[in-house]
Amino acid sequence: MTGSLRVVVADDLALVRAGFRMILTSEGMEVVAEASNGAEAVDAVRRTRPDVVLMDIRMPEMDGLEATRRIVAADADGPRVIILTTFDLDHYVYAALSAGASGFLLKDVSPEHLAAAVRMVRIGDALLAPAITRRLVERFARRDPATAAVHRDLAALTPRELEVMRLLAQGLSNAELAGRLHLSEATVKTHVARILAKLRLRDRAQAVVVAYETGLVSAGGNAAEA
């Protein structure tokens, strides 16, 4: 990728926006716009076409979840959205991923972790810590027959791809997947790319949601019987 990574920062607190801008700028990234509510965030994305959006959840006029839905719906190949919040509440995590977000961070994240997170989602990875992933799905994933029917094309996945998706759903990174399956990271990336293509999914975050909603992985974190 050429040029600096372009970011929109959306938060209703000017001090928070200034802090994120300082961190990202010091890491060689360009903050192309700031927004104080969801409506401004949607407009900023439309005007500046950033690579990544840092999106607060609780904002006036339009919250971050609705703004995320609109940004993702407007352009499937548009920016990746990282949801930021001070509240470590499970239903926010699940709602954010269902809305199309690629990750979830608490605002007390370290500067180094924030910068790494922005770079990570830009290349298609998802910010899904295993503990958060398992907890949120145990409590909030819906085993809806209608949803499962939509993704019945899980049958198109090979046994190896199903195995990769089960582990991916537990929040494992490519490196961890490679170690668990005794494969190279390049091979794992190929498997993940094929899974996303076959299921017509935007990124790994959506794959996690689908894996649980369809019952590929059980609520307890164990693989369901095929």
Question: Is the per-residue pLDDT at 25 higher than 80?
Answer: yes
Domains of the chain: 6-127 (3.40.50.2300), 137-213 (3.40.50.2300)
Distance CA 171, CA 210 (A): 13
DSSP helix/strand/coil, 89? coil
Structure tokens given for 195: 């899974």
pLDDT attached to residue 70: 94
Strand 30-35 relative to strand 6-10: parallel, antiparallel, unpaired?
parallel
26 neighbors 20 (Cβ within 8 angstroms): no
Per-residue pLDDT tens digits for 26-51? 999 999 999 999 999 999 999 999 99
Question: Is the per-residue pLDDT at 205 higher than 70?
Answer: yes
Per-residue pLDDT tens digits for 169-201? 877 778 888 999 999 999 998 999 899 889 888
165 neighbors 211 (Cβ within 8 angstroms): yes
Task: Provide the pLDDT confidence category of residue 143 given band limits of 50, 70 and 90.
Answer: low
Give me the mean pLDDT over the 196-209 stretch: 82
Burial (Cβ within 10 Å: 0-12, 13-18, ≥19) of residue 173? middle
What's the whole-number average pLDDT of the chain?
A: 81
Strand 52-56 relative to strand 6-10: parallel, antiparallel, unpaired?
parallel
Task: Provide the pLDDT confidence category of residue 53 given band limits of 50, 70 and 90.
Answer: very high
pLDDT attached to residue 81: 92
Instruction: Please name the residue that has the structure tokens 């990234």.
Output: 29
* Residues paired with 203 in a beta bridge: none
